Copies of this chain bind each other. A is one copy, B any other.
Amino acid sequence: MNTLGRIFKISIFGESHGPAVAVLIDGCPAGIDINEDDFTADLERRKPGASGTTPRKEEDEPKIISGVFNGKTTGAPIAILFENKNVRSADYDAIKNTPRPGHADFVLNKKFNGYNDHRGGGHSSGRLTVAIVAAGVVAKKILQNIQIHAKLIEAGGNTNIETAIQKAVEQQDSIGGLVECRVQNLPVGLGEPFFDSVESVISHAIFSIPAIKGIEFGSGFSATKMKGSEHNDAIIDAAGNTKTNHAGGINGGITNGNELYFRIAVKPASSTPQEQQTWNNATQAVESFTVKGRHDLCIALRVPVVAEAAAAIALADLLLVNKLL
């Protein structure tokens, strides 16, 4: 349930307001250089603090507690732990009676018969993406010269990101965004024709990220409006390079060696400062309320590095699985 992958397997655990969040990585080859500084750059990119992101100061110090010896992976499972600091639980007490719209409060309560840790979303918190980012750093090392790059290309429907954020701050309402991810230097042959198509494996990983509601590969939804003669990418050499790349680097579920790219839809954060309505279990009526606590107005700003991580994890696993056959 909380594990992804077949050979390169990652499991995340921990809660937003518990002692720590962490990732366990099994199946990582031995002999890869890893130290705690390797995580800094990607953790910084995920951090809140920029305009439009939550002022909650998360100090993300990775502690490698297993699987690394003398600065190199040993082949044993790698656990990376982030202790939680700066936690204010009191903010969340109201959730018990008033499930926040858009959040998982209502479904978690039903699913776990009320036993879930509701503080800050508990195990469901976006805080857990710090663990995914950490696994991504390790995955990227396995990928070696394969390059993954994601960026926010639209916020609130606007390509001028800064303006969109500024407007969100002014209006005090959260906004969504569009993230694009591009991968270069993939070998031909990753993925399977059906159940483990590259699209299946990547989308599975990407939809693990909170707030993602859509994904499209290559021309994606605009391909529905194209003709076959337009959409087909002519192969122009023996290496399989194509003239166009509407397929996004994938044919029949398998990488074709051209750039792999996809776009993902990030919904606006459910925690908006605006007044909202929800069912109140205490009063047994629909009532107005306002979300308290420290939250992001544009979570899409923090998604690119998480999307890269998810893609890197999926691709590292495909690479290790496909070496075999």
Binds B, one of A39-47, A48-56, A102-110: A102-110
The answer to whether the Cβ of A95 comes within 8 Å of any Cβ in the partner chain is: no
0/1 string, A230-254, CB within 8 A of B gives 1: 1111111110101100111001111
Closest chain B residue, CB of each to CB of A12: B194
The answer to whether the Cβ of A67 comes within 8 Å of any Cβ in the partner chain is: yes
Closest chain B residue, CB of each to CB of A274: B229
How many copies of the shown chain assemble into the complex?
4
Could you say which of A1, A79, A267 has the most chain B C-beta atoms within 10 Å of its C-beta?
A1
Query: Which one of B199, B236, B325 contacts A286 once the chains associate, using CB atoms below 8 Å?
Result: B236
Chain B residues contacting A9 (CB-CB under 8 Å) are: 3
Beyond A220-B213, A221-B214, whether A111 also contacts B254 by CB under 8 A is: yes
A268–B247 alpha-carbon span in the complex (Å): 11
- Asked if A252 and B194 sit within 8 Å, CB to CB, the answer is no
Could you say which of A7, A76, A254 has the most chain B C-beta atoms within 10 Å of its C-beta?
A76
A183–B200 alpha-carbon span in the complex (Å): 21
Chain B residues contacting A58 (CB-CB under 8 Å) are: none
- Asked if B228 and A174 sit within 8 Å, CB to CB, the answer is yes
A292–B315 alpha-carbon span in the complex (Å): 35
- Asked if B27 and A11 sit within 8 Å, CB to CB, the answer is no
Q: Which of A135-191 contact B (CB under 8 A)?
A: 154, 156-157, 168, 171, 173-178, 188-189
Closest chain B residue, CB of each to CB of A106: B240
Min distance, Cβ A238 to any Cβ of chain B, angstroms: 6
Q: Which of A186-241 contact B (CB under 8 A)?
A: 188-189, 192-197, 199-201, 203-205, 207-208, 210, 212-221, 223-238, 240
Min distance, Cβ A30 to any Cβ of chain B, angstroms: 4
A300–B224 alpha-carbon span in the complex (Å): 9
- Asked if A274 and B228 sit within 8 Å, CB to CB, the answer is yes
The answer to whether the Cβ of A304 comes within 8 Å of any Cβ in the partner chain is: no
- Asked if A213 and B218 sit within 8 Å, CB to CB, the answer is yes
- Asked if A279 and B30 sit within 8 Å, CB to CB, the answer is no
Which residues of A pack against B, CB within 8 Å?
A: 1-4, 6-7, 9, 11-15, 18-22, 24, 26-27, 29-31, 63, 65-67, 69, 72-79, 81, 99, 101-104, 106-108, 110-113, 115-117, 121-124, 128, 132, 154, 156-157, 168, 171, 173-178, 188-189, 192-197, 199-201, 203-205, 207-208, 210, 212-221, 223-238, 240, 242-243, 246-248, 251-256, 265-272, 274, 276-279, 281, 284, 286, 300, 320-325
The 6 closest A-B pairs by CB, nearest first: A104-B252, A228-B272, A157-B225, A214-B216, A174-B228, A76-B123
The contact sample of 20 A-B pairs, CB cut-off 8 A, is A3-B195, A4-B194, A7-B321, A11-B77, A13-B78, A20-B66, A22-B65, A69-B117, A73-B115, A76-B116, A101-B234, A176-B226, A194-B208, A201-B204, A215-B216, A224-B266, A226-B267, A229-B272, A229-B276, A236-B286
